[in-house]
Amino acid sequence: MNNLEKLKAARQSLLRLHKLLIDRERELEEGIKGPLSHGSFLGMLLNDPDFQWLRRFSSAIAEVDEFFAAKDGVTEEMVKTQLAKLKAVVEMGSDDYFAAKYQSALQQNSEIAGHHSEFIALIGSTGGEN
């Protein structure tokens, strides 16, 4: 599998991980507030500061989508840059709030942990590091 194919696969893997995280957050929120309409929950995802940590996933996915939609030629270096950006999404460096929320999700949900591991295995094998 070349790096362009890996980028496509990593995007799909990150999308699945993002969906699982959103589903978990909705379940937690509904456990506190009761059932939420789709529109109400979407508004929370987009505007509530408590959900800011999830936006790094959606932003990264959107950036890859824009990358694939670009009409200009794609170089190997550009693909590697995108792969490195995707890998950075799940790194728990200096953002303590992200790290706490993501670590909690990984520890409390085996399906999320499994998808995280699959994503890391895929992205780690890309040669995307510079």
> Given this model, what pLDDT does residue 12 score?
97
> Given this model, what pLDDT does residue 92 score?
84
> Given this model, what pLDDT does residue 94 score?
81
Instruction: Give the number of other Cβ atoms within 10 Å of residue 36's Cβ.
Output: 14
Domain assignment present for residue 129? The answer is no
Global confidence as pTM? 0.90
Q: How confident is the model at residue 126 (pLDDT cuts 50, 70, 90)?
A: very low
The contacts found for 95-102 with CB under 8 angstroms, 24 or more apart, are 95/53, 97/52, 97/53, 98/53, 98/56, 101/53, 102/21, 102/53
Among candidate residues 2, 24, 9, the one with its CA nearest the CA of residue 113: 24
Tens of pLDDT, residue by residue over 20-71, are 999 999 999 999 999 999 999 999 999 999 999 999 999 999 999 999 998 7
Domains of the chain: total: 1
Beta-strand ranges (E) seen in 10-110 are: none
Among candidate residues 105, 117, 89, 110, the one with its CA nearest the CA of residue 22: 105
Domain assignment present for residue 46? The answer is yes
Domain assignment present for residue 49? The answer is yes
Q: Average of pLDDT values for 100-104? A: 96
The contacts found for 46-52 with CB under 8 angstroms, 24 or more apart, are 51/25, 52/97
Domain assignment present for residue 92? The answer is yes
Residue 113 lies in domain? 3-124
